[in-house]
A and B are shown apart, each in its own frame.
Chain A
Amino acid sequence: MVEDSANMKTESALAKLPKSPGFWKETWHRFRKRKMAMLALVYVILMAIVAIFSPAIVGTKPVIASYKGDIYFPCLGYYSPRWEAVFTKDKFRKVYPKNLKEKDPDSWAIWPLVFNDPHRRLEENEWPGRPKNPQNGPPSSDNFFGTDKGRVDVFAQVVHGTRTALLVGFVSMGIASLIGISMGAMAGFFGGWVDIIISRIIEVVMCIPTLILILALIAVIEQPEIWHMMIVIGVTGWTGIARLTRAEFLKLKQMEYVAAARVLGVPQFRIIYKYLLPNALAPVLVPITFGIAAAILIESGLSYLGFGAPPPNPSWGKLLQLGRQSYQNWWLILFPGLSIFVTVLAYNLIGEGLQEATDPRLREGGSRE
């Protein structure tokens, strides 16, 4: 009886003790204190929202339309033409406002916030009372960021270009992280020959100037699509991640708890996966974040050089290229240029915030705790 109550007491006392925060929670706690990094995080989240909802922000296709008794979401046609199959069949030719009224007087539609198209020019009265897009027009109330020489709205292209930038950043770095983390983990954990071979591969990839490797790889593909570009950026950008993962694994595998796991007979794969990886991941996030910024830069650089994704994918780099052909159209350079800059800056700030949040030497209270 007495023993029981004593046990109960220690248990309740233990329960009352504040749980020591986990590594991730602590990192987040420290990251949150950095105002600029948090601001950058907010920007990146906002950009993701803009990217996802870009067809609802700028477009010529209704967000929701009621047509012949059914409800449609034609704006998703910017993602895949399947979503506007009905309208293609009814010969809308991508011009919605007039055709909707003509072919079904009872129809109604909710339009995107700004009526303009990232892929094609706007003709006269396409939207009741709106003039056609001017050629090389400066910024105006109809075309916030002006128009290019094909009379296509630049604002629409910049907004839809966020999708390309976001996708390239995340997908290519996803691929790079997958390769980098598994290569680095293997090299760090197994050591010996595996390490020597992987380290050589890393060295080879690092020694070839990135842009040259990417240009050569893209030139090999006959009709490159945006996916190819992401894969190419991914398979060339993993070396930094691999090196850091390797270093973390080399350090972590010496720890007592790993030795204990080995003695207990935990399979090697499980040690890598469950015991080492979660602890190695936080520092690895830093090169991944910087890598996203680099990937966005590479994508816009390639698009600028004319090696980018084929039309109709709008891209900030492509706008810059148009701008370089005729400098008097400054809006073709200024707006996409600023978008690239702010986005890269945001990812760099997040990366630095993470670096300082995960680096124990930089914690407040000095290096010795």
Chain B
Amino acid sequence: MLSYLIRRIAIGAITLLLITFVIYGLIRNIPGTPLTVNMAESDPSKELSKERQEQLEAAYGLDKPWQKAYWIWLGNVFTGDLGTSFSHNKPVLELIADRLGPTLLLSIPSLFLAYVLSIPMGIYCSARSDHVDERVLSTILYMLYSFPSFVAALFLQLWLAVELEWFPLFQMTSDNFDELTTFEQVKDLAWHAAMPMTCYTYASLAYFSRFVRANLQEVLRQDYIRTARAKGLGPIRVLWHHGFRNTLIPLVTLIGLTLPSLLSGSVIIEQIFSWPGMGMQFFLAILERDYPTIMGLTLMFSFITLLSQLIADVLYAFVDPRVRLESK
């Protein structure tokens, strides 16, 4: 077990190094630097003088070739310094921390909801297999599963915000947020979060419940289920005790693998709802050529992705005694 973990961590570190190297090379080769992009946008006449630009480039480390700059960045990362954002003039870590809240506000409840709802739905679909109600539910779930979330977001806005005016169109808070009492603030936040949260939830809900159903049906085809039925056990007991418990294994792994989506947010959904989260920040950082922020976010995303894969594998061995983690 220990040697397996060490091996996996070593491989993960190499992968992380490769990813950051590739992304660093990529973004440094995007035409335009943070200096030129900002200036051109605000006012063309305010263009920096050549000396000033060179001065700034030296200060930001843009005068060095990217291969060299990468190693400097990496060295700083090991000392816990992710650099300072160009466009926000703020340490990248602080910037990420600011954006983390809004993203978690959407992702945690929606993931929780999706899990809580999908398990009974999946079991129900398995139990009522080939009945009319199951067909209807499965078809609806399949439609939802195929419904692109950004299209759904726009449709929801059209219907619930523009047509019925039930929910605010976008943004995280109302303009008078600071004047509200705490209770009203919470209500205001929930009001604004409802639509984006729906978009996050329905997609994973459809995916998870189809996942539960597929796994349960696979289990129900096994011999021991037939044995259980032959013993004269009731359908509910067979389904719950002998069937569902065995589908927990892939479900647990799935929890591990959904971890990154908790933090990453969605670029398009956050853009549609003007939600100040991680996805939105990434999009802005690319537009502004904010290299340290892009790198900080990339590092975080890939670290969490790799970590969640490792957790998923370890959990898998943990819940399923048949699986042994050994280095081959």
Spell out A's residues near B (CB within 8 Å): 200, 203-204, 206-209, 211-213, 215-217, 219-220, 222, 293, 297, 300-301, 304-305, 320, 323-324, 327-328, 330, 333-334, 337, 340-341, 344-345, 348-349, 361, 366-367
Is there an interface contact between B151 and A219, defined as CB atoms closer than 8 Å?
A: no
Interface 1/0 per residue, B280-313 and A, CB below 8 Å: 0011001000000010011001100110000000
In the complex, A206→B308 CA distance in Å?
13
Residues of A contacting B: mostly: helix
In the complex, A324→B271 CA distance in Å?
11
| Chain A residues within an 8 Å CB radius of B11 | 200
A-B pairs, top 9 by smallest CB distance, nearest first, are A345-B146, A337-B151, A219-B30, A327-B162, A207-B302, A216-B26, A348-B146, A207-B305, A333-B154
For the complex formed, measure the closest distance between the CB of A240 and the CB atoms of chain B, giving whole angstroms: 14
28 example contacts (A-B, Cβ-Cβ < 8 A) are as follows A200-B14, A203-B15, A206-B305, A207-B15, A207-B306, A208-B22, A208-B298, A209-B301, A212-B282, A212-B301, A216-B286, A216-B294, A220-B26, A220-B29, A222-B31, A301-B148, A305-B268, A320-B154, A323-B154, A324-B157, A327-B158, A327-B162, A333-B155, A334-B158, A340-B148, A340-B151, A344-B148, A349-B146
In the complex, A341→B272 CA distance in Å?
17
Spell out B's residues near A (CB within 8 Å): 11, 14-15, 18-19, 22-23, 26-27, 29-31, 142-143, 145-148, 150-151, 154-155, 157-158, 161-162, 169, 218, 221, 264, 267-268, 271-272, 282-283, 286, 294, 297-298, 301-302, 305-306
| Chain A residues within an 8 Å CB radius of B14 | 200
- Among residues of A, the one whose C-beta sits closest to the C-beta of B17 is A204
In the complex, A227→B205 CA distance in Å?
35
| Cβ 8 A contact of A208, one of B19, B30, B272 | B19
In the complex, A297→B23 CA distance in Å?
23
- Among residues of B, the one whose C-beta sits closest to the C-beta of A323 is B154
Is there an interface contact between A204 and B18, defined as CB atoms closer than 8 Å?
A: yes
Q: A204-B18, A324-B272, A333-B155 are in contact. Are A305 and B283 (CB under 8 A)?
A: yes
Q: A200-B15, A334-B158, A341-B148 are in contact. Are A217 and B26 (CB under 8 A)?
A: yes
Residues of B contacting A: mostly: helix
Q: A204-B15, A327-B158, A327-B162 are in contact. Are A215 and B151 (CB under 8 A)?
A: no
Q: A204-B18, A305-B271 are in contact. Are A215 and B283 (CB under 8 A)?
A: yes
Is there an interface contact between B286 and A348, defined as CB atoms closer than 8 Å?
A: no
- Among residues of B, the one whose C-beta sits closest to the C-beta of A301 is B268
| Chain B residues within an 8 Å CB radius of A323 | 154
| Cβ 8 A contact of B154, one of A208, A211, A220, A324 | A324
In the complex, A213→B24 CA distance in Å?
11
| Cβ 8 A contact of B169, one of A208, A320, A327, A340 | A327
| Chain A residues within an 8 Å CB radius of B282 | 212
For the complex formed, measure the closest distance between the CB of B7 and the CB atoms of chain A, giving whole angstroms: 12
| Cβ 8 A contact of A341, one of B146, B161, B286 | B146
Q: A215-B286, A344-B146, A348-B145 are in contact. Are A209 and B264 (CB under 8 A)?
A: yes
For the complex formed, measure the closest distance between the CB of A48 and the CB atoms of chain B, giving whole angstroms: 19
Is there an interface contact between A304 and B146, defined as CB atoms closer than 8 Å?
A: no
Is there an interface contact between A304 and B150, defined as CB atoms closer than 8 Å?
A: yes
| Chain B residues within an 8 Å CB radius of A215 | 267, 283, 286
In the complex, A293→B142 CA distance in Å?
14
In the complex, A171→B293 CA distance in Å?
33
- Among residues of B, the one whose C-beta sits closest to the C-beta of A316 is B151
| Chain A residues within an 8 Å CB radius of B30 | 216, 219-220
- Among residues of A, the one whose C-beta sits closest to the C-beta of B302 is A207
| Chain B residues within an 8 Å CB radius of A203 | 15
Is there an interface contact between B19 and A207, defined as CB atoms closer than 8 Å?
A: yes
| Cβ 8 A contact of B162, one of A200, A300, A320, A328 | A328
For the complex formed, measure the closest distance between the CB of A29 and the CB atoms of chain B, giving whole angstroms: 22
| Chain B residues within an 8 Å CB radius of A324 | 154, 157, 272
| Chain A residues within an 8 Å CB radius of B146 | 293, 341, 344-345, 348-349
Extra 18 A-B pairs, beta carbons < 8 Å, given A344-B146, A345-B146:
A204-B18, A208-B301, A209-B301, A211-B267, A212-B286, A216-B26, A219-B27, A305-B268, A305-B271, A323-B154, A327-B161, A328-B162, A334-B155, A337-B154, A337-B155, A341-B148, A344-B148, A348-B142
In the complex, A143→B328 CA distance in Å?
65
| Cβ 8 A contact of A305, one of B22, B157, B158, B267 | B267
| Chain A residues within an 8 Å CB radius of B143 | 345
- Among residues of A, the one whose C-beta sits closest to the C-beta of B169 is A327
| Chain B residues within an 8 Å CB radius of A216 | 23, 26-27, 30, 286, 294
- Among residues of B, the one whose C-beta sits closest to the C-beta of A208 is B19
In the complex, A334→B159 CA distance in Å?
10
- Among residues of B, the one whose C-beta sits closest to the C-beta of A366 is B221
| Chain A residues within an 8 Å CB radius of B286 | 212, 215-216, 219
| Chain A residues within an 8 Å CB radius of B22 | 204, 208
| Chain B residues within an 8 Å CB radius of A200 | 11, 14-15, 18
- Among residues of A, the one whose C-beta sits closest to the C-beta of B157 is A327
For the complex formed, measure the closest distance between the CB of A324 and the CB atoms of chain B, giving whole angstroms: 6
Is there an interface contact between B151 and A341, defined as CB atoms closer than 8 Å?
A: yes
In the complex, A305→B15 CA distance in Å?
30
| Chain A residues within an 8 Å CB radius of B27 | 216, 219
| Chain A residues within an 8 Å CB radius of B294 | 216
For the complex formed, measure the closest distance between the CB of B209 and the CB atoms of chain A, giving whole angstroms: 15
Which residue, B14, B19, B161, has most C-beta atoms of chain A within 10 A? B19
